[in-house]
Structure 1
């Protein structure tokens, strides 16, 4: 049986958990994993569907890695946990693939920590563990949850950065097709509109920028298509350019000379950018 830790003074500073504490924790892991799974699926029904779906084994393995690695962290502080880290990244990637933020995953991690802390209190009473030791356990546990969240975020951002890059590429492709005019089948433009969520307007205004335009200093409106990597950078703005649009352009490109073309039917977008470029050359 593990050595019992006697109560200590309440004012004793918190320190690392004794390695022997891992011997107390390990026997609790199988039932703790099950209890955490029950609580999380009750609080987050979408995760219940996953645990009963085709990827349930991989998900359960990831949860087991999270919890088992915590016990190993107590036994060997500072030890690398590559399997746990990869499981975290997979969870983060999955949230990104599902189009969600990380709020649910963070909530699930913290719910799991609360369940673990509840179990630890029972174990503490069973072994007469000191209040200071239990405080150290709670401190270590929530620091560990912060690690889980940070590593999961790496996987999430890995997917999001790739998705953002793909989205920008699709939007540039859409801009090129609109400028190409009538030779392009409308079905091709409609397909890209559906993929990017861009609504094809009846009239557009093109804006020419002097190269190099650089990255926008302020975000462009979501309905603005842009190709800033082109030797002749340009933007497509749905409808006319009013004062609000002009102010947004100034914020985005405060030092880049620009020229606004005429507002034309979308099928004549190439004429608008051609006129804008001529003005910019003056």
Structure 2
């Protein structure tokens, strides 16, 4: 079970965990606790450890999440720009590296055609996106106001009732569509695992991991996709635009939403 997590209190931190459960008892615990699970020491009859995959040195948070399913989102300021984890003495980028990153950003920007009505067309994919997260307003140049957070079911209802830009056929994006918006300013991205999870930004990158010129004032946090987990009915896929990681979370978690529609 892959889970993307956020602490409810304190500084906002996204964590991607991989929790394993090895027997029927543990599977029942997992179903009741949002995919969290234990490994049991059958000789001593007590828990001895948790296996977790993490996007940074957050093993303690992963362990707590696997035990307590503390996977709810924490509010983070919209539009805040931060730097991803850096080594203590990160070397300055060379001119050649800066030029390479500039070319990558230009190529990423060329995928989109921004419109004055607060929408942007992803041309090759044939998609029309809302530039603002749900809850924000488009003022003709940027997104204002505070993005709202929704459970997965609430997000589906909000999409069904959305009217914007002269269109009424907005929907939640598929997992691959949403993950396609991730932009790693470092030009480096980790690989997805065999389940299609992970794949966060690597190296020196800015957060939120998205093009701010296309999607201004994006909250640094998790966003829902329309894709349910294939095995667990209480879980669905999403993307963290803090780190660029994709994973699953409990449908009753409250996270952000960006809507899309087909525009071929």
TM-score, length basis structure 2: 0.21
The structure having more radius of gyration, on CA atoms, is 1
Hey, which of these two has a bigger chunk of strand by percent?
2
TM-score, length basis structure 1: 0.20
